[in-house]
Amino acid sequence: MERLNCDNDDAVHSMLTKLSTLWKNRAAVNQELPDYWNLAFDPDKQDFTASLLPFRNHQAWQEAPEALQSKCLSYAWGIYNLKTIYIECNVVVPACEDIIKTPPPSHNRMLLQDVMSQALLDEALHTRMSIMACNYIYAMRKLAPLDFTAFNLVTWREGLLANCNAEWERRLTRFAIACASETLITDYLKTMAEDTSIQAICHEVTRTHAMDEWSHSSVFSFVATDIVHGLSRKEREYLRSIILKTVQMFANNELGAWGTVFSMLDFPNAREILNDVGDSNEISVYTDSVESLINRIGLTGKGLGSSQSAIAALHEEAYA
């Protein structure tokens, strides 16, 4: 495909080169990590930030015994890490592999492969870090591990790919969902990464993860900018639509996982909580990031409309 803007190509090349060069010292997960098993464990500290629970304001939750709430917060840590593992393995890694194996037509071909191979290594280490971190909490709290596979973002992605009619749609779908996820996760991680009141390991793991995901957001943004240069208007419209749809899935409350946890704990009034809360979380937490993303990578204007109109449509659809 024809490259559309040589000046922009030079800027993308410069940033990709910088990101690649800095990776060895930038990637927090690649530095010497603490021995999590030797971190001080405080049984009185929460293992998860309660303000992130989708049912935090529900009366049945607020009236539950403190010991039961504590177990739920430990399982919230398990849900977060298990979902992270599924997103890394099933969403981000395939998008990295696409570009490593068959990079898009670009003057930056080798750089695209380089930065995505670096991201791939980071994601493998994040996966290991999440496994260690949730197993640590299960062991210290003497809780049965959570087994759950049907995370909404992952199952929605599988359905979307199954309905694609062409390989270009499948490829852009894989990349769009990964790119949006790597951007949106920073908003979610920020809360726990800054919460020093939670368990030391939980704060340390989310802080390390957050540092890397801020960098991954930049990597995916500049790779996306390079890719967008070579797309037709139809392909740009498609990429943008999938990025915007990903916001709704990312904000999902994952009540399937919570239903499993409530069942394991025989939590009182669980059905009432699940029915009252519903699947959809507050998407406004993520809209600033996604608006910035579509502006930054060139998915506004030139017949695509403004980012403001895209966000307004997103809100309208979410609350219809």
List the domain boundaries for the chain: 6-18+65-318
Q: What is the pLDDT of residue 281?
A: 66
Q: Average pLDDT, stretch 177-192?
A: 84
Interval 7-47: pLDDT, tens: 456 788 887 777 677 666 655 555 565 566 667 789 999 99
pLDDT at residue 315, as a whole number: 66
What is the C-alpha to C-alpha distance for residues 177 and 311, in angstroms, rounded to an integer? 17
Q: Among 68-72, 119-123, 169-173, which stretch is predicted with the lowest mean pLDDT?
A: 119-123
Comparing 31 with 171, which gets the higher pLDDT? 171
Which pLDDT belongs to residue 188?
Answer: 73
In this prediction, residues 227-240 reach a mean pLDDT of 93
pLDDT confidence bin for 3, thresholds 50/70/90: very low
Mean pLDDT lowest among 17-21, 195-199, 291-295:
17-21
Position 7 scores a pLDDT of: 46
Q: Which of 167-181, 193-207, 212-226 has the highest mean pLDDT?
A: 167-181
What local confidence, expressed as pLDDT, does residue 319 receive? 60
Note the pLDDT of residue 25: 60
Confidence of residue 313 (pLDDT cuts 50, 70, 90): confident
User: What class has domain 6-18+65-318?
Assistant: mainly alpha
Instruction: Tell me what the mean pLDDT of segment 157-182 comes to.
Output: 95
| 242-251, 271-280, 301-310: least confidently modelled range | 301-310
pLDDT of residue 91: 95
pLDDT at 217: 76
User: What mean pLDDT value characterizes the chain?
Assistant: 86
Of residues 282 and 266, which shows the higher confidence score? 266
State the pLDDT confidence band at 233, using cuts at 50, 70 and 90.
very high
Residue with tokens 């709290």: 141
pLDDT digits (tens, 9 = 90+) for 47-72: 999 999 999 999 999 999 999 999 99
Q: What is residue 40's predicted lDDT score, i.e. its pLDDT?
A: 76
| Mean pLDDT, residues 209-235 | 85
